[in-house]
Amino acid sequence: MGDVLWTPPADVLQRSRIGNYLRWLREHRGLDFADYDALWRWSVEDLAAFWRSVWDHFEVVAHTPPTATLTDPAMPGTRWFPGATLNYAENVLRMPGRADDDPVVIAHGQTRAPVTLTAAQLREQVRRVAAGLRRLGVVAGDRVAAYAPNIPETYVLLLATSSLGAIFSSCAPEFGTRSVTDRWQQIEPKVLVAVDGYRYGDKPVDRRGEVAAIRAALPSLEHTVGIAYLDPAGAPSDGALAWDELAAATDEPLTFTPVPFDHPLYVLYSSGTTGLPKPIVHGHGGILLEHLKMLALHHDLGPADRFFWFTTTGWMMWNFLVSAPAVGATIVLFDGNPGHPDLGALWRLAEETQTTYFGTSAPFLLACRKAGLVPREIADLSALRGVGSTGAPLPAEGFTWVYETVGERLQLQSLSGGTDVCTGFVGGVPLLPVYAGEITCRALGARVEARSADGTPVIGELGELVITAPMPSMPVGFWNDPDGRRYREAYFEVYPGVWRHGDWITINERGGCVITGRSDATLNRGGVRLGTAEFYSVVEGLDEVVDSVVVHLEDDEGGAGELLLFVVLAEGLELDDALRRKICRELRTALSPRHVPDEIHQVRAVPRTLSAKKLEVPVKKILTGTPVDSAAAKGALVNPESLTAFAAFAQRRASDHDTPTPA
């Protein structure tokens, strides 16, 4: 059991939004819960009562009320809030608890000076851009695509698009042409809004060539709108409108098209590392309810908060972040290199913007730890009361580092979920203590279980992460999958009627969770399943190792197979036998003899997706003979050249098993 690093204050029920919700349940529903566990059990056993309470408690603005909360709880195919019509943008722009002149969007970056929008300015910009889209012929059901970074214009475009009942999709401008067209050729957008480029650190990145290639590859486009971001004096490319023209003055009122609960809001994509990215369609109502629940009851965000999450527009955390005005919180946007001019940049941004909740990724926190950074010594973080971590499991030493160097009174919430549900289904909650290395709880309304190999639920041992009851933010479907076949194959093929997520999880007696990596990247040695997360925690904890990837090549005869570890070393270091012995010793001591690799090799880089996830499965495929182009879609990688080293290694290994090192 990990050490207790934080305990809820004695008056947590008086001060937190979940405390307020519990009082509301007592008063309006006659329900009383002794503790979080009792509340969670009710939320997953009486789905209709729980989700209707979220709708009522947060006073969702609807144009017609629902005739029921859900019909047929069987998955897939559950229908939520039939008969209801509403609009996501209307509920976000309500901004409860905020006055017209309150700042609700604070945007910083490396391309231009900071921008702040008040509640009134945000509504006004959405009104104008919605009118501009209407002039371009955009109607409910049309797709509007944004090749744009985490800046106010992208957010305004999302809200304006959804106000019309049209469907939004974004790709971050660091995505290459092929990556973007693989996504958008599937959904056939009518309008493209694109930046001319951006700055990453002090480096200008011109994207006009990519924009031209994307336009050429999308015959469905009727209009292109250019945002002069890198070069504010630049003119739009041929035939494109300028953003200022789209957002021109107009006296058209801001209206919201009422749409059914499951009407498409936006399309998100799986990482697309193998094959075409899956176009995951999320609905207005499901996203709204899930984000109200998560942002208010779990993250405890409200009108006094400034909420930051380091993300690009190509990761679902952006969609999660920008729902926060729906609970009254101000959002802090950042576009640029988080390591420029050094790893202290985002912590200084937190001071400057008076951020109260700082969200980031586990790799960022571990990089800060490795660099010896003490954030509270370089920035005044007194406003900070919450830190969020996602994107990869955060090991115990990452938790300890946050409490030792960022602040001992804040609540650290490690969470895990996915693009598929656009939320975290395991995370933190103000009512429960924080244990080192442990995700605090299963989220309300998320019936998460661990399943053993034979499909039975297990407690206290490693199992396949499944969700056994529907959630409103499960996708309304995949784009262009009329019979739902691809959707069923993605989540429901292994356990009929049960969502299989693809992670290994251990759930302990008190409901705490530890995720140990993707189940398709599991190391299985002699029948014992080993997660990759704990492996990386030990290896990358060594000063000499910057990054690593481990793969297990199975033995067809049922033997232990081969465990291969690849390491990226600190500048100027070469892998020698002494360092190999040190790595093996650390793994044996910290984990077990089964974790000791058969071979360790040095590489220049570990292949990662654009959202920084390691690609264990494509590496494994390449090492077992799959050609690079079939093993991974290079456009989805931040460093596609990294794969060729593994291909060369596989080739040499096939011809001479004793060859020591890839390029």
**Distance between start and end Cα atoms, the chain:** 41
Residues of the chain with pLDDT under 70: 1, 271-275, 519-531, 555-560, 611, 656-663
Lookup: tokens for 23: 């009082």
- Separation between Cα atoms, residue 237 and residue 224, nearest integer Å: 9
Nearest 5°: the CA angle 462, 465, 584 is 45
The answer to whether 378 touches 350, Cβ cutoff 8 Å, is no
- Separation between Cα atoms, residue 641 and residue 276, nearest integer Å: 20
Helix axes 532-539, 577-590, angle to 10 degrees: 130
Task: Output helix, strand, coil percentages for the chain, rounded to the nearest 5.
Answer: 35, 25, 45
**Residue type (1 letter), 314:** G
Query: In sequence order, what are the residues at sequence separation of 6 or more whose Cβ sits closer than 8 angstroms to the Cβ of residue 283?
Result: 261, 262, 263, 264, 265, 476
- Separation between Cα atoms, residue 647 and residue 619, nearest integer Å: 9
Helix axes 47-57, 284-292, angle to 10 degrees: 80
If you ran DSSP here, which 8-state letter would residue 234 be given? P
- Separation between Cα atoms, residue 442 and residue 445, nearest integer Å: 9
Q: How far from 578 is each of 199, 388, 455, 582, CA to CA, in Å? A: 42, 38, 44, 6
Lookup: tokens for 400: 């300890």
Lookup: tokens for 445: 């309304």
pLDDT at 663: 46
Q: Note the maximum CA span of the chain.
A: 74
If you ran DSSP here, which 8-state letter would residue 608 be given? B
Lookup: tokens for 114: 């900071």
pLDDT at 531: 66
- Separation between Cα atoms, residue 328 and residue 58, nearest integer Å: 11
Q: How far from 368 is each of 109, 394, 412, 612, CA to CA, in Å? A: 20, 13, 16, 16
SS3 category, 589: helix
pLDDT at 659: 45
Handedness of CA 12, 15, 21, 25 (dihedral sign): positive
Lookup: tokens for 45: 């056993």
Distance between alpha carbon 354 and the CA centroid of its chain, in Å? 23
Query: In sequence order, what are the residues at sequence separation of 6 or more whose Cβ sits closer than 8 angstroms to the Cβ of residue 18?
Result: 296, 297, 298, 300, 429, 430, 431
pLDDT at 417: 93
291 phi, psi to nearest 5 deg: -75, -35
Count CB atoms within 10 A of the CB of residue 244.
Answer: 14
Query: Burial of 488 by CB count in 10 Å (0-12 exposed, 13-18 middle, 19+ buried)?
Result: middle
Query: Burial of 480 by CB count in 10 Å (0-12 exposed, 13-18 middle, 19+ buried)?
Result: exposed
Closest CA to 606 of 392, 390, 359: 392
SS3 category, 452: coil
SS3 category, 132: helix
321 phi, psi to nearest 5 deg: -55, -50
- Separation between Cα atoms, residue 196 and residue 135, nearest integer Å: 23
- Separation between Cα atoms, residue 320 and residue 309, nearest integer Å: 9
Count CB atoms within 10 A of the CB of residue 599.
Answer: 15
- Residue 18 belongs to what H/E stretch? helix 17-29
**E-strand spans in 508-544?**
513-518, 523-525, 528-530
Pairing of strands 167-171, 191-195: unpaired
Lookup: tokens for 26: 């007592």
Closest CA to 470 of 76, 84, 82, 49: 76
How many residues in the chain? 663
pLDDT at 465: 95
Residue ranges of alpha helices (H) inside 344-493 are 345-353, 362-370, 375-378, 396-405, 485-491
Residue labelled with tokens 């009104």: 127
The b/e string for 330-344 (b: 16+ C-beta within 10 A; e otherwise) is bbbbbbbebeeeebb
- Residue 193 belongs to what H/E stretch? strand 191-195
The answer to whether 123 touches 253, Cβ cutoff 8 Å, is no
Lookup: tokens for 396: 């115990």
If you ran DSSP here, which 8-state letter would residue 84 be given? -
The answer to whether 620 touches 563, Cβ cutoff 8 Å, is no
